[in-house]
Amino acid sequence: MPEGSASLQLAVGDRVVYPNQGVCRVTAIDVKEVAGQKLTFVTMRREEDGAVVMVPSNKVVAIGVRKVATAEDVESIFEFLRSDSDKADLDWKQRARTNLDRMTQGGILGLAEVVKGLQVLSELRPLPTKERELYDNARHLLVMEVAAALGTAEVNAEDSIDVVLFPPGRERPKRTAAEFARDEEDLGLDGDLLGLDGDLDLPSDEEPPAEPAEEEASEEGEEGEAAESTEEAAPKKRGRPPKAKPEAAEGGEAAAPKKRGRPPKPKPEATAAAEGAEAPAPKKRGRPPKPKPPEAEGAAPAAPKKRGRPPKAKPSEGED
Amino acid sequence: MIRVWTLDSFDDKQLAKFNRTLYTAFGVGSEHSGSAEVPAGMPEPLDAEKLLQEVKGIRSYKDDKVLLLTTRKLKERELPSGVAPTSGFAWHGKDRAVLSIAPHKDLETGFKPVARHALHQLGHLWELHHCLDPRCSMYPPWTPSFAQGEPIFCTFCREKSEQKIRLAKS
């Protein structure tokens, strides 16, 4: 009757842990007919609030249901929490993925890793809301399992964990990003990739760099933390466009550059090469095609060429 | 409703101020509901867990949270991972907690740290866990900075406690 699965034999009364739900007690194992098929279901009741879930016995292992940790497991958890092997992953995407896996498949050690990792990260900076919630969930599940494993009250289980994480009489250390040296490798890679993008854009057209830079900046903005950590790439892209504009305006001719000054990068070229062509080019289609004069210097026939570019230049105006 | 029961004598004005602080923190009524006796023969320092089980004469309704207030010391707890300094104890998610104002003689001399401890224990009653923010009252109470903080919650803990209280009311 107690058909759990190949590797997990369950019987009524067993205490198990349902991933992301907590400690449950097996209340029944019975056969039910569903859509003409006879299936064995394991019924579990969550100890915390009495919620009931029924799982087909052949899915129990796939879902990640496992027996409650033993006292030895808990002792090893305390050892892990006590250790200094605490490298927080500064890449939020990687961290989120890893933590999700740990929560669902990592067992009690996975829960401890999430708690420890986020606690260490919080010593560097306050946790974002989502991770604060994740920390609270992981801590709750860990406390419940430790309490179940040791047969003690939840508050004692929590204090057992926190006596290790926050040793009495000591304040938590404040950390710096430099301490997470391992993560710099990843950031370096990102920076290289971003740098390559910028290089590729520069030779092809001088105008485009403004666009990709802004696009990348917006992407980084979405990534938030990841962008914070990429000190090399992020600040350059965001900082330079505004700086370049004033520089171009200063170096360029007084009136003309101011009018067209906002596409800043083309200005140096325009000043160097298009002195004679300034008058016609800017007046007619001036703002979008500023960079064009260098290419179309000698000839007014450059007009057709300019018609093709407006689409490129327009976005830069709109962005400005 | 938060019901404060005293196991020793306290100044009424200070108790009223104490209740106002609890009301401000949780948005739930708080009152001094009476006095009770420590079970006879219980040695000092008091065993907090045993005290909560054995104390008699506490009256409350189902959703009430009871906080026992005493001037006597509580015994440190021997836990699997070490010794936990104990100035208060609460049954997580249940209805009863105890708080010692020791080493302060009365509420007046140690009002802030005692109020902060009270918030901490009552927070446990509303299923809050320890917090990462040193300014929050749910920060582990044995840390050196705990006693210097204000009796307030961080945003996360405040919202969670409000949610729990709403659920309890509905």
Q: What is the DSSP string of A60-110?
A: HHHHT-EEPPPHHHHHHHHHHHHS--------HHHHHHHHHHHHHHSHHHH
Size of interface A-B (CB pairs under 8 A): 82
Residue of B73 and A312 predicted with greater confidence: B73
On whether any CB of chain A is under 8 Å from the CB of B75, the answer is no
Residues in chain A with CB shorter than 8 Å from the CB of B156 are 129, 132-133, 136
Give the C-alpha separation, B78 to B85, whole Å: 9
Flag if B132 and A159 touch (Cβ within 8 Å).
Answer: no
On whether any CB of chain B is under 8 Å from the CB of A162, the answer is yes
Give the C-alpha separation, B157 to B128, whole Å: 7
**Could you report the per-residue pLDDT of A198-218, keeping only the tens digit for each?**
444 444 344 444 444 444 444
Query: In DSSP terms, which residues pair with B68 in a beta bridge?
Result: B5, B98
Cα four-point dihedral sign A53, A57, A63, A67: positive
- Could you say which of B79, B93, B143 has the minimum Cβ distance to residue A159? B79
On whether any CB of chain B is under 8 Å from the CB of A203, the answer is no
Flag if A155 and B81 touch (Cβ within 8 Å).
Answer: no
Cα four-point dihedral sign A193, A197, A202, A208: negative
Flag if B77 and A156 touch (Cβ within 8 Å).
Answer: yes
For residues A312 and A205, is the Cβ–Cβ distance under 8 A?
yes
**Least confident residue range of A240-249, B4-13, B97-106:** A240-249
pLDDT score recorded for residue A123: 87
- In a 3-state reduction of DSSP, which class is residue B84? strand
pLDDT score recorded for residue B151: 93
pLDDT tops 90 at residue B22: yes
Cα four-point dihedral sign A121, A126, A127, A128: negative
Torsional class of B57: left (φ above 0), alpha (ψ -120 to 50), beta (otherwise): left
Give the C-alpha separation, A271 to A274, whole Å: 6
pLDDT score recorded for residue A266: 53
On whether any CB of chain B is under 8 Å from the CB of A159, the answer is yes
On whether any CB of chain A is under 8 Å from the CB of B89, the answer is yes
Q: Looking at chain B, which residue has its C-alpha nearest residue A157?
A: B79
Residues in chain B with CB shorter than 8 Å from the CB of A171 are 134, 143-145
For residues A76 and A27, is the Cβ–Cβ distance under 8 A?
no
- Could you say which of B77, B92, B144 has the minimum Cβ distance to residue A171? B144
Tens of each residue's pLDDT in chain A, 320 residues: 444 445 678 899 999 999 999 999 999 999 999 889 999 999 999 998 899 999 999 999 999 899 999 999 999 999 999 887 667 777 888 889 999 999 988 889 999 999 999 998 988 888 999 999 999 999 999 999 999 999 999 999 999 999 999 988 877 777 777 776 654 444 444 444 444 444 444 443 444 444 444 444 444 444 444 334 444 434 444 444 554 444 444 444 444 444 555 555 555 444 444 444 444 444 555 566 655 555 444 444 444 555 556 665 555 444 44
Q: What is the ipTM of this complex?
A: 0.91
* Kind and range of the H or E run holding B77: strand B77-79
Residue of A24 and B41 predicted with greater confidence: A24
Q: Looking at chain A, which residue has its C-alpha nearest residue B133?
A: A126
Residues in chain B with CB shorter than 8 Å from the CB of A158 are 92, 129-130
For residues A159 and B84, is the Cβ–Cβ distance under 8 A?
yes
How is residue B42 written in tokens?
């219980």
DSSP states of B7-29: SS---HHHHHHHHHHHHHHHSS-
Residues in chain B with CB shorter than 8 Å from the CB of A139 are 129-130
- In a 3-state reduction of DSSP, which class is residue B168? helix
Helix, strand and coil percent figures for chain B, each rounded to 5: 30, 20, 50
* Kind and range of the H or E run holding A133: helix A129-150
Give the C-alpha separation, B62 to A222, whole Å: 47
pTM flag (> 0.90): no
pLDDT score recorded for residue A169: 80
On whether any CB of chain A is under 8 Å from the CB of B145, the answer is yes
Phi and psi torsions of A127, nearest 5°: -75, 145
Flag if A140 and B129 touch (Cβ within 8 Å).
Answer: yes
Give the C-alpha separation, A199 to A211, whole Å: 13
On whether any CB of chain A is under 8 Å from the CB of B40, the answer is no
On whether any CB of chain A is under 8 Å from the CB of B129, the answer is yes
Closest CA to A103 of A118, A91, A92, A89: A118
pLDDT score recorded for residue A53: 94
Interface test with B, best of A116, A150, A155 (most B CBs within 10 A): A155
